[in-house]
Amino acid sequence: MKIGFNEATALKCEGQSLMADLEACEKNGFDYFEMRFDCLAEYVKEHSLEELAEWFENHRIKPWAYNTLEFFNQLDSFQTMAMDWHLSWIKEVCNAIGMKMLIAVPSFDVGLDKTVEEIKHEAADRLRYIAEFMGPDIRVSLEFCGCPNCSINQFGTAYDVVKEVDLPNLGITLDTFHFHEMGSSLEDLKKADPGKIFVYHLNDCEDLPIGSCGDDKRLWPEEGVVDHGSIAKVLNEIGFDGVCTIEEFRPEYYRMEHKENIKKAAEVTRAFVNKYYKK
Ligand code: ZN
């Protein structure tokens, strides 16, 4: 299985930048790179997308996904307009550098007057629009978040939305922290089409009551209580073969030296895939 790096992992380390991340990831053997919107926004203040495309052409590591289209559902008209602008920018970036994936995160705190069914149908409408906007060459991956107040917070619910839309370029992100945090079901994962799992985010979680953890409670894989063995067993059984991408947000890891953070991220991700996946 190929390994990827998400820029959240070293985001607040001293000396971090898009280029610093890319150079360190290339050096440490990552295959793919998930780019954050804020890191890219900093980069384009002084560089062009053409420069970035040229960098990728001359290096081994390849762009994997754009992180993130945040809060795509339950929007008012102004928010919808702003999202359209963001989508146009993402499409321009994807086309310029040959990136083929957009990760989309659902809205939080949408009120208690909407049922899960209502939320699912509205999200399906929005995602159909987004997937069609991006076009068939760019995949859109719905990332449910394991928080009580996220409008789509379990694997099964997110997968229902993906099934309802039923477009080849719409799939799901399986983030192991989020999977654990709202008690997503392995039975739901077993029923999933492996080809619909577009993104696999790797991390772990402190031993705290489920649903109570913020992203800062993430840990390096296998240092916490996420049942990685069972998740990996199901992914192997259903025939998943994708990219395993490390994604941390831990303040303690931000205090590491930037190079050390990425070196460690590569080591733990490689060890993880070697342990659980054959190829
Ligand atoms: Zn994630």
User: Which one, of 139, 187, 143, 179, lies nearest residue 161 by Cα?
Assistant: 143
How many Å lie between the centroid of ligand 1 and the Cα of residue 123?
Answer: 19
State the pTM of this model: 0.97
d(CA 10, CA 265) in angstroms, rounded, equals 9
How many Å lie between the centroid of ligand 1 and the Cα of residue 261?
Answer: 18
How many Å lie between the centroid of ligand 1 and the Cα of residue 116?
Answer: 22
How many Å lie between the centroid of ligand 1 and the Cα of residue 67?
Answer: 9
Quote the pLDDT of residue 112: 84
d(CA 142, CA 104) in angstroms, rounded, equals 5
Look at 278 and 160; give whichever has higher pLDDT. Answer: 160
Quote the pLDDT of residue 279: 66
pLDDT band of 125, cuts 50, 70, 90: very high
How many Å lie between the centroid of ligand 1 and the Cα of residue 112?
Answer: 25
How many Å lie between the centroid of ligand 1 and the Cα of residue 53?
Answer: 25
How many Å lie between the centroid of ligand 1 and the Cα of residue 71?
Answer: 14
Q: Left (φ > 0), alpha (ψ -120 to 50) or beta: where does 200 sit?
A: beta
User: Which one, of 86, 69, 101, lies nearest residue 199 by Cα?
Assistant: 101
Q: Which residues pair with 70 in a beta bridge?
A: 105
Neighbours of ion ligand 1 (CB under 5 A): 175, 201, 247
pLDDT tens per residue, range 206-254: 999 999 999 999 999 999 999 999 999 999 999 999 999 999 999 999 9
How many Å lie between the centroid of ligand 1 and the Cα of residue 206?
Answer: 16
Task: Name the maximum alpha-carbon separation found in the chain.
Answer: 52
Sign of the torsion angle spanned by Cα atoms 177, 186, 210, 205: negative
Q: Identity (one letter) of the amino acid at 130?
A: I
- Contact by Cβ (8 Å): 93, 66: yes
Mean pLDDT of the chain: 97
Quote the pLDDT of residue 142: 98
How many Å lie between the centroid of ligand 1 and the Cα of residue 202?
Answer: 8
Query: How do 197-202 and 243-246 pair as beta strands?
Result: parallel
Q: What's the chain's length in residues?
A: 279
pLDDT tens per residue, range 29-52: 999 999 999 999 999 999 999 999
User: Which one, of 205, 261, 254, lies nearest residue 30 by Cα?
Assistant: 261
Query: How do 204-205 and 218-219 pair as beta strands?
Result: antiparallel
pLDDT tens per residue, range 72-116: 999 999 999 999 999 999 999 999 999 999 999 999 999 889 999
